[in-house]
Amino acid sequence: MLDIKGSFYIIDALLAVFLLLIVFLVVNTAITMPTYDYSYESRDIRIAQDVMESLSGKIDFTDQTFIGKISTILKDEDNSKESIKEVSKMSRDKLNSYNLKNYKLCENNVFDGKILASRGNFKKAADVDVATRNYGDYSYTLSVWEN
């Protein structure tokens, strides 16, 4: 059986092109498929970092950050009980403005883990997210969790 008109060659060429298109489609789909990012699995994973970043961030170079402000109050008043109470009240008010359900803000370096502000029961905490920022001699740790 001779193929005088070349129909077998045309069918063979079309099948080869069709297979190449399928291979390109599979490769393109594999490349453009979004990967699962584990760091964004939970909404709370970002909350402590976001809040701490806003507490320690400046709008421009003349502003003082919240972390800087409370550190200055503590340092200027030689870490007195009154300055700790003032900073604790300021911290509670500021963290409550972020509508956090459960949080704990501690100072780890000078006061050796003293809790400055907290809300919720830390003993029943699950999936605790932690962020730490330093300012001068002070090191602040914010913990956010779900019950």
Q: What would the pLDDT profile of 37-85 be if each residue is shown by its tens digit?
A: 555 555 545 688 888 888 888 766 667 888 999 999 999 988 889 999 9
* 6, amino acid identity: G
Distance CA 39, CA 46 (A): 8
So what's the pLDDT on residue 37?
Answer: 58
CA atoms within 13 A on the CB side of 25: 6
Q: Is the pLDDT of residue 1 over 60?
A: no
Distance CA 33, CA 36 (A): 10
So what's the pLDDT on residue 52?
Answer: 86
Roughly how many angstroms between the first and final C-alpha of the chain, as a whole number?
79
Q: Mean pLDDT, to the nearest integer, of 92-102?
A: 88
Let me know: does 145 contact 127? Beta carbons within 8 Å. Answer: yes
Q: Mean pLDDT, to the nearest integer, of 121-144?
A: 88
Q: Name beta bridge partners: 100.
A: none
Which letter does DSSP use for residue 40 in this model?
Answer: G
Distance CA 141, CA 137 (A): 13
* Cα torsion angle, 50, 120, 108, 86, sign: positive
